[in-house]
Amino acid sequence: MRISAEEKEGTTRSFYERKVADYMTTEVLSLSPDATLREAGSLFAHHDFNLMPVLEEGSLIGVFSKFDFMRAFAFTNEHPLPDYLSLMKTPVRMLMRDELLTVTPDMPLTRVLQKMVDTKTRSFPVVSEGRLVGVISREDIMRALADSTAATTEFFCREVQSRLSV
Protein backbone atom coordinates (compact mmCIF):
# COMPACT_ATOMS: atom_id res chain seq x y z
CA MET A 1 0.00 0.00 0.00
CA ARG A 2 1.30 3.44 -0.91
CA ILE A 3 1.46 6.21 1.67
CA SER A 4 0.33 9.62 0.52
CA ALA A 5 2.44 12.73 1.10
CA GLU A 6 -0.01 14.05 3.69
CA GLU A 7 0.06 10.81 5.67
CA LYS A 8 3.85 11.19 5.83
CA GLU A 9 3.48 14.82 6.95
CA GLY A 10 0.56 14.17 9.31
CA THR A 11 -1.66 16.73 7.56
CA THR A 12 -5.04 16.45 5.92
CA ARG A 13 -6.24 18.16 2.77
CA SER A 14 -9.42 18.16 0.78
CA PHE A 15 -9.58 16.47 -2.59
CA TYR A 16 -9.54 19.91 -4.23
CA GLU A 17 -6.08 20.57 -2.83
CA ARG A 18 -4.49 17.33 -3.95
CA LYS A 19 -2.14 17.08 -6.93
CA VAL A 20 -1.06 14.31 -9.28
CA ALA A 21 2.39 14.17 -7.63
CA ASP A 22 0.73 13.17 -4.33
CA TYR A 23 -0.73 9.96 -5.75
CA MET A 24 1.03 8.99 -8.99
CA THR A 25 3.10 5.85 -9.37
CA THR A 26 6.71 6.83 -10.00
CA GLU A 27 8.22 3.40 -10.63
CA VAL A 28 6.76 2.79 -14.07
CA LEU A 29 7.23 -0.21 -16.29
CA SER A 30 7.49 0.78 -19.92
CA LEU A 31 7.73 -0.90 -23.28
CA SER A 32 10.08 -0.42 -26.18
CA PRO A 33 8.28 0.15 -29.49
CA ASP A 34 10.01 -3.04 -30.69
CA ALA A 35 8.65 -5.16 -27.83
CA THR A 36 6.36 -7.90 -29.10
CA LEU A 37 2.76 -8.52 -28.15
CA ARG A 38 4.03 -11.64 -26.36
CA GLU A 39 6.29 -9.48 -24.16
CA ALA A 40 3.54 -6.93 -23.54
CA GLY A 41 1.06 -9.70 -22.73
CA SER A 42 3.48 -11.19 -20.24
CA LEU A 43 3.88 -7.83 -18.48
CA PHE A 44 0.11 -7.31 -18.37
CA ALA A 45 -0.30 -10.83 -16.94
CA HIS A 46 2.23 -10.22 -14.15
CA HIS A 47 1.32 -6.63 -13.28
CA ASP A 48 -2.05 -5.06 -12.71
CA PHE A 49 -1.62 -2.22 -15.20
CA ASN A 50 -4.14 -1.05 -17.75
CA LEU A 51 -1.62 0.95 -19.75
CA MET A 52 2.12 1.04 -20.29
CA PRO A 53 4.07 3.95 -21.71
CA VAL A 54 6.12 3.25 -24.83
CA LEU A 55 9.56 4.85 -24.64
CA GLU A 56 12.17 5.29 -27.32
CA GLU A 57 15.56 6.60 -26.19
CA GLY A 58 13.91 7.78 -22.97
CA SER A 59 11.18 9.79 -24.71
CA LEU A 60 7.49 8.99 -24.45
CA ILE A 61 6.30 8.15 -27.98
CA GLY A 62 3.06 6.33 -27.24
CA VAL A 63 1.00 4.21 -24.90
CA PHE A 64 -0.07 0.60 -25.12
CA SER A 65 -3.08 -0.69 -23.19
CA LYS A 66 -4.77 -4.01 -22.55
CA PHE A 67 -7.44 -2.84 -24.97
CA ASP A 68 -4.79 -2.28 -27.67
CA PHE A 69 -3.49 -5.78 -27.00
CA MET A 70 -6.96 -7.33 -27.37
CA ARG A 71 -7.68 -5.27 -30.48
CA ALA A 72 -4.86 -7.12 -32.26
CA PHE A 73 -6.77 -10.40 -31.93
CA ALA A 74 -10.22 -9.18 -32.94
CA PHE A 75 -11.89 -10.85 -35.87
CA THR A 76 -12.15 -8.56 -38.91
CA ASN A 77 -13.31 -8.93 -42.50
CA GLU A 78 -9.66 -8.95 -43.59
CA HIS A 79 -8.66 -11.49 -40.93
CA PRO A 80 -11.65 -13.69 -40.04
CA LEU A 81 -9.28 -16.24 -38.47
CA PRO A 82 -6.33 -14.37 -36.91
CA ASP A 83 -3.04 -16.26 -36.76
CA TYR A 84 -2.39 -15.95 -33.03
CA LEU A 85 1.19 -17.19 -33.12
CA SER A 86 2.16 -14.67 -35.79
CA LEU A 87 0.30 -11.88 -34.03
CA MET A 88 2.24 -12.51 -30.81
CA LYS A 89 5.41 -11.52 -32.74
CA THR A 90 3.92 -8.15 -33.78
CA PRO A 91 5.85 -5.17 -32.42
CA VAL A 92 3.98 -2.88 -30.04
CA ARG A 93 4.70 0.07 -32.38
CA MET A 94 2.13 -1.37 -34.82
CA LEU A 95 -0.71 -1.09 -32.29
CA MET A 96 0.33 1.57 -29.79
CA ARG A 97 -1.50 4.88 -29.66
CA ASP A 98 0.73 7.84 -30.35
CA GLU A 99 -2.02 10.39 -29.73
CA LEU A 100 -0.96 11.07 -26.16
CA LEU A 101 -3.21 12.23 -23.35
CA THR A 102 -0.87 13.22 -20.54
CA VAL A 103 -0.99 15.12 -17.25
CA THR A 104 1.63 16.96 -15.21
CA PRO A 105 2.68 16.36 -11.59
CA ASP A 106 1.28 19.72 -10.47
CA MET A 107 -2.15 19.19 -12.04
CA PRO A 108 -5.01 19.11 -9.52
CA LEU A 109 -6.63 15.70 -9.13
CA THR A 110 -10.01 17.34 -9.78
CA ARG A 111 -8.89 18.08 -13.35
CA VAL A 112 -7.49 14.57 -13.81
CA LEU A 113 -10.71 13.01 -12.57
CA GLN A 114 -12.71 15.14 -15.02
CA LYS A 115 -10.33 14.25 -17.85
CA MET A 116 -10.72 10.55 -17.04
CA VAL A 117 -14.50 10.84 -17.09
CA ASP A 118 -14.58 12.92 -20.28
CA THR A 119 -12.21 10.65 -22.22
CA LYS A 120 -13.18 7.32 -20.56
CA THR A 121 -9.48 6.75 -19.93
CA ARG A 122 -8.25 4.60 -17.04
CA SER A 123 -4.80 6.12 -16.60
CA PHE A 124 -2.51 8.82 -17.91
CA PRO A 125 1.26 9.12 -18.26
CA VAL A 126 2.61 11.92 -16.07
CA VAL A 127 5.09 14.11 -17.94
CA SER A 128 7.35 16.88 -16.69
CA GLU A 129 9.62 18.85 -19.00
CA GLY A 130 9.00 16.33 -21.76
CA ARG A 131 10.04 13.33 -19.65
CA LEU A 132 7.91 10.54 -18.23
CA VAL A 133 7.90 10.82 -14.42
CA GLY A 134 5.00 8.54 -13.52
CA VAL A 135 1.52 7.26 -14.21
CA ILE A 136 -1.75 8.19 -12.51
CA SER A 137 -4.61 5.69 -12.62
CA ARG A 138 -8.25 5.69 -11.64
CA GLU A 139 -7.28 3.54 -8.63
CA ASP A 140 -4.99 6.38 -7.52
CA ILE A 141 -7.85 8.87 -7.89
CA MET A 142 -10.17 6.60 -5.93
CA ARG A 143 -7.58 6.32 -3.15
CA ALA A 144 -7.29 10.12 -3.03
CA LEU A 145 -11.06 10.41 -2.82
CA ALA A 146 -11.13 7.87 0.02
CA ASP A 147 -8.33 9.73 1.83
CA SER A 148 -10.21 13.00 1.39
CA THR A 149 -13.45 11.52 2.64
CA ALA A 150 -11.70 10.08 5.69
CA ALA A 151 -10.00 13.42 6.37
CA THR A 152 -13.28 15.31 6.02
CA THR A 153 -15.12 12.87 8.30
CA GLU A 154 -12.34 13.11 10.89
CA PHE A 155 -12.46 16.92 10.74
CA PHE A 156 -16.24 17.05 11.23
CA CYS A 157 -16.10 14.54 14.10
CA ARG A 158 -13.49 16.68 15.88
CA GLU A 159 -15.62 19.80 15.29
CA VAL A 160 -18.74 18.14 16.70
CA GLN A 161 -16.85 16.79 19.71
CA SER A 162 -15.30 20.17 20.46
CA ARG A 163 -18.71 21.90 20.30
CA LEU A 164 -20.34 19.26 22.50
CA SER A 165 -17.64 19.52 25.15
CA VAL A 166 -18.21 23.29 25.61
Q: Are the C-beta atoms of 116 and 49 separated by less than 8 Å?
A: no
User: Confidence band (pLDDT; 50, 70, 90) for 152?
Assistant: low
Residue 10: pLDDT above 50? no
* Lowest-pLDDT range of 5-14, 34-43, 58-67, 76-85: 5-14
pTM of the model: 0.77
Give 97-110 pLDDT, tens digit per residue: 998 999 999 999 99
Give 139-150 pLDDT, tens digit per residue: 999 999 988 876
Q: Quick count: other Cβ atoms within 10 Å of Cβ 87?
A: 17
Average pLDDT across the chain, whole number: 85
Please state the length of the chain. 166
Rounded to whole angstroms, how far apart are CA atoms 127 and 134?
7
> Residue 124, exposed/middle/buried by CB under 10 A (0-12, 13-18, 19+)?
buried
The percent of residues above 90 in pLDDT, for the chain, comes to: 59
Residue 1: pLDDT above 90? no
Q: Are the C-beta atoms of 108 and 16 separated by less than 8 Å?
A: yes
What pLDDT is stored for residue 161 in this prediction? 61
* Domains with residue ranges and CATH for the chain: 5-164 (3.10.580.10)
